[in-house]
Structure 1
Amino acid sequence: MNLLTNLWKIHTGQQHAFNDHAPEIDNGTARPSPDRYHDRAFARREWEQVFAKSWLLACPLSDVREPGDFAKFDIGPESFIVVHTDDGTIKAHYNVCPHRGSQLVRDDLGSIGQFTCPFHSWKFDLDGHNVEVTDPETFRPEVLCHDHDLTSVRCEVAAGLVFISMDPDIGPLADWLAPVLPQLEAYQIDSMYVIQHRRSDWGANWKGGVDAFAEIYHLHAVHPQTQCLMDDRTQIDLWPGGLSRQFVPFAQPSPRFGDQESVNPGIAMLLQDAGIDPAGFSGTAAETRRAIQNAKRERSDALGLGYERFSESQLSDSVVYSLFPNVQIGCHPEAVFLHRFLPHPSDPDQFTYDTCIMYRHVDAPGYCAPAWMGLGEDVDLSGETRPDVVHTRLGEPPCLGEVLDQDSELLPIVQAGAKSRGFKGPLWSEQEARLRHFHTELDRRMAAGDAR
């Protein structure tokens, strides 16, 4: 019996270990100053004391699957190259030539045998070693005695995702992720690949993006169309290091929604996803979530999908993880959403929202990515082609889908209010416990940096 089967005992009739609550963490009731959302001095300290000292999600492992594959990762003022080296390891380097500072790669993704600087043609192998200096005889030997390899950074892989850190002394990635790593591994992201990748610039601070995606308290006001198929009653779990998760129950109406009986079109879509004909379903809305769980369990048994590693709620719900500082991962058996909130290099009133949908193809009738993810008919689900990154600039329609477009329209309004003298700082409810947990960790790291 393997580790996952031991951890997740589906067929015993016991409460699934996955759903067990994390030990309680009390982050207090303090009201933090709102300058964290707009003050330029705070943003500069934040870059040095948080981003430069943290593990950062750089790319999915599937983007650097073969030797020579590389992915460019831009965040704040820095740019990195993640590359699959010839010996099979994944490494990461600053995307900068040591000669005159030119960036080496401009493409988001690609495959290459070596890196060549576009300015003076210096060449580097995939490990970052300099292998050729143009006209070396014109350099004094004492100049080329200086280090002229690429500058590498810490790079580690976990749960099918590649992380980098600018801090050479940071602890192992697996140690930090330990509370949630087995849970993430259950989704087998390492066998998924990107089927949609969109990036858009938003007129707000990156923490405003983290805040909005870390709670569902706002759904009734900003996304009322979701209330027919998503429940507001959720489980929230917190772990040290700024890690958290939240269950978002699907296929049952929010208690705020007026009709608790009818199988509305939103729930009908979810039934269809699970292979249930909505027209032939005789139950009420209160019974659809269980029906979907049972149908997915039966599909797994028939197709050998291995869903015995999942709890009942994992089969129907979205399980959303926060990885400090700027990542959220929405997990589903068939696909995952990766969300990254990337700070602007110099303006705390802007950030870049980067989102990927990852999917694992199964050639079987009815198996698909969740319809509510809004994938178009032109999306290639086979994994044979990696889609380009579609980047919309500030002021352009983001075209991310109805719900995300609503968020992009609202956050600049929140950002403007955060700078008002009338706003004294956020007042978080228990529904926003993940926000308080995130900001507590942010403040802890900022204070630790100030103490050094």
Structure 2
Amino acid sequence: MSCRGLIQIRCENIGTLYFVNLDPEAMPLRDYLGPVARTLDDMSPDKLILVDSASIDVACNVKVMIDAFLEVYHLKSIHQNTVDKFLDHRGSAITLWPGGHSRMVTPFKREGWKDPGVKGLPMVEGVDPWYEGTNLSVMGYPNMVSPVSPHGIPILLFWPKTLDTMTVDVHWFGPDWGDGPRPDRWDMRIANFHAILEEDLQFADKIQTSVQSAGLRGFPLNYQERRIYHWHEELDRRIGAARIPDGLGVKQILEDFIDLPGQGPADARERGRSTAESVLS
């Protein structure tokens, strides 16, 4: 085994979520993810099991698809008959974290509203009920997005394939239901999620065509889309300014708006709760 054994690689976990790292010199997982890891901790990940996995090929550059999951500004145009019916994009509260990570908390349009899509699904024991009363999504840089929920966590991973193609993996984790097959209620929950996901994917190839157009002169972003800008700032930092051709980099402007470490999940929930309450009132 010492001569012909498999090469060792690093593997770390957050509960039952396992992460593989091919870089032996990389910092520990929790140190890297920081507040993203603490948000996942709030979902009691040690009590979750894998419910479902799917992979979807998309005809666009991976950055096009990542951008679409970092804001809720598009609800009025893309999700008119689904998500826009219950989420108030005007009240979206955004937090930028070091390292390209970020969080978005979006209140429901009606106070006390409950998602009918989770009816019949158990909650993870011990999760703060606040998470059931709002919509929260975290970005783990560079390619992990999770709209966490005490009823089940979808983990979306965005992988580049070629310059204009990519794959999104969707892994669902939920409370352990014990012996027997997966409860039928999960079939509806996953189907509803994929229907909404399909709405996000429907214009990906057309956006890619626009990106490659000689007429493109850049994209205007509003304050609700600053998670997108934050992501691209981090990408440029990791590439290195000296290696980016003129005209392709973004100006580093968001440093003063990044929340520094030391603010725990309770602080995060309180800021999100205050924002949601002010919008509802």
Who is 2:9 aligned against? 153
CA contact (8 A) 1:349 1:415 kept: yes
Who is 1:384 aligned against? none
Structure 1 residue 202, shift from structure 2 partner: 0.4
Tell me the distance in 2 between the aligned counterparts of 1:448 and 1:153.
Answer: 31
Who is 1:420 aligned against? 213
Alignment of 1:37-436 (within 5 A): 129=1, 148-225=4-81, 226-232=83-89, 233-250=91-108, 252=110, 270=115, 273=118, 305-307=125-127, 310=128, 312=130, 314-344=131-161, 347-361=162-176, 373-375=189-191, 401-436=194-229
Structure 1 residue 199, shift from structure 2 partner: 0.7
* Larger RCO (alpha carbons 8 Å, 6+ apart): 2
User: Which ranges of structure 1 fall in alignment gaps of 5 or more residues?
Assistant: 1-128, 131-146, 254-262, 276-295, 377-399
1:12-65 CA-to-partner distances (Å, cap 9, x unmatched) read: xxxxxxxxxxxxxxxxxxxxxxxxxxxxxxxxxxxxxxxxxxxxxxxxxxxxxx
TM-score normalised according to structure 1 size: 0.47
Who is 1:95 aligned against? none
Code of the residue aligned with 2:150 in structure 1: it is: P
Structure 1 residue 172, shift from structure 2 partner: 1.4
- Number of residue equivalences: 238
CA contact (8 A) 1:245 1:319 kept: yes
Runs of 4+ in structure 1 deviating by more than 6 angstroms, as ranges, are 367-372
Code of the residue aligned with 1:338 in structure 2: it is: I
Tell me the distance in 2 between the aligned counterparts of 1:229 and 1:445.
Answer: 37
Structure 1 residue 372, shift from structure 2 partner: 7.8
What secondary structure, in the 3-state scheme, does the structure 2 residue paired with 1:402 have? helix
Tell me the distance in 2 between the aligned counterparts of 1:273 and 1:339.
Answer: 19
Structure with higher helix content: 2
Code of the residue aligned with 2:84 in structure 1: it is: Q
Tell me the distance in 2 between the aligned counterparts of 1:445 and 1:433.
Answer: 18
Kindly tell me: are residues 361 and 149 of structure 1, through their superposed partners in 2, closer, same or farther at Cα, counting changes over 3 Å?
A: closer
1:102-152 CA-to-partner distances (Å, cap 9, x unmatched) read: xxxxxxxxxxxxxxxxxxxxxxxxxxx46xxxxxxxxxxxxxxxx543223
Tell me the distance in 2 between the aligned counterparts of 1:409 and 1:322.
Answer: 22
Code of the residue aligned with 2:134 in structure 1: it is: D
Who is 2:261 aligned against? none
CA contact (8 A) 1:193 1:360 kept: yes
Kindly tell me: are residues 370 and 424 of structure 1, through their superposed partners in 2, closer, same or farther at Cα, counting changes over 3 Å?
A: farther
Structure 1 residue 323, shift from structure 2 partner: 0.5
Q: Percent identity?
A: 27
User: Which ranges of structure 2 fall in alignment gaps of 5 or more residues?
Assistant: 245-281
What secondary structure, in the 3-state scheme, does the structure 2 residue paired with 1:355 have? strand
1:332-368 CA-to-partner distances (Å, cap 9, x unmatched) read: 1110111010110xx21000111022110468xxx99
Structure 1 residue 447, shift from structure 2 partner: 0.5
Structure 1 residue 206, shift from structure 2 partner: 0.9
Code of the residue aligned with 1:305 in structure 2: it is: E
TM-score normalised according to structure 2 size: 0.74
Tell me the distance in 2 between the aligned counterparts of 1:431 and 1:370.
Answer: 32
Q: Which has the larger radius of gyration?
A: 1
Provide the aligned C-alpha RMSD in A: 3.2
Structure 1 residue 370, shift from structure 2 partner: 8.4
Tell me the distance in 2 between the aligned counterparts of 1:168 and 1:273.
Answer: 40
Tell me the distance in 1 between the aligned counterparts of 2:92 and 2:196.
Answer: 19
Tell me the distance in 2 between the aligned counterparts of 1:449 and 1:166.
Answer: 26
What secondary structure, in the 3-state scheme, does the structure 1 residue paired with 2:164 have? coil
CA contact (8 A) 1:154 1:168 kept: yes
What secondary structure, in the 3-state scheme, does the structure 1 residue paired with 2:50 have? strand
1:307-346 CA-to-partner distances (Å, cap 9, x unmatched) read: 4xx152x1222211101111101101110111010110xx
